Structure 1
Amino acid sequence: MVERRLVSSGSYLEPVIGFSRAVRVGNTIVVGGTAPIAAEGGTAAVGYMYGQARRCLEIIAQAIADAGGSMADVTRTRIIVTDISLWEDAARAHAEVFGEIRPVTTLMEVSGFVDPDWLIEIEAEALLTGD
């Protein structure tokens, strides 16, 4: 049987909603919608898309590392924003991390998130080829 490893980021919403930040099954890691939650709680970079995107990517990088991978293993991302006019700020943060890796990605707008201060959530999928 293939091991199923759950990774928590400590988000206060994980037990409320019943989700894990990331799940690894075999050589696949999937990271759910990651919000810009500050290390000390609350929202990071309120009102600042680029800063929120960077925080989401930091959380994702930690979750993937905790699951045994690295950002170089990422094959897909989804960037979800509440204001598409700010897409370039989100894209700049994404490109700083993934400019050489170049996973497939989708960038889309939604009407809102659980916390109205969140401007962005990012999802990621990684495929580990060294296992």
Structure 2
Amino acid sequence: MTRQNVLSGSPWEDKMGYCRAVRIGNVIEVSGTVAIVDGTTVKADDIYAQTKNILDRIAEVLSGLGAAMSDVVRTRMFTTDVSRWEEIAQAHGAVFGSIKPVTSIYEVSALISPDYLIEIEFTAILGDR
């Protein structure tokens, strides 16, 4: 099977030896992804906007690999404040409400920057089309 790596252009990819996503056959794994916190549309204190930003960006990554959000079978969400799970769920549910992938949500002590409130990993499996 052919391996297809998707790079985002982040300098961390070479430093840490990873990529945004990997597709092998019909399986796509997406690295933990945080929001692009710009201070305007996505603020450091807005967990809903951060979640939505991640979901929107990963939809583009999947599209580039011939997949869609409807192919996602698992999400793993890591947050620094699990008490805000309903805001996360609102954004997640707007995308996955009818798809219903398996999911987990974990509270962690910190993410790579204090501006990040959530990080999400994805697994997608392409079915017969």
Q: TM-score, normalised by structure 2?
A: 0.91
2: CA distance, partners of 1:79 / 1:129 = 24
Q: Distance in 2 between matches of 1:48 and 1:10?
A: 25
Shift of 1:10: 2.6
Question: What is the match of residue 30 of structure 2?
Answer: 31
After the TM superposition, which residues 46-65 of structure 1 pair with which residues of structure 2 at under 5 Å, given as runs? Answer: 46-65=44-63
Q: What SS does structure 2 have at the residue aligned with 1:87?
A: helix
Gaps of 5+ in 2: none
2:90 matched residue in structure 1: 92
Secondary structure (helix, strand or coil) at the match of 2:31 reads strand
The aligned residue for residue 21 of structure 2 is 22
Partner-residue secondary structure (3-state), 1:53: helix
SS at match of 1:23: strand
Q: CA deviation at 1:99?
A: 0.3
RMSD: 1.6
SS of the residue corresponding to residue 117 of structure 1 reads: coil
Deviation of residue 16 (structure 1)?
A: 2.4
Cα distance between partner residues in 2 of 1:44 and 1:9: 19
> What amino acid sits opposite 1:9 in the alignment?
S
Partner of 2:10: 11
Deviates more, 1:61-70 or 1:101-110: 61-70
Q: Structure 1: 5+ residue runs without aligned partners?
A: none
User: 8 Å contact 1:8–1:21 — kept in the other structure?
Assistant: yes
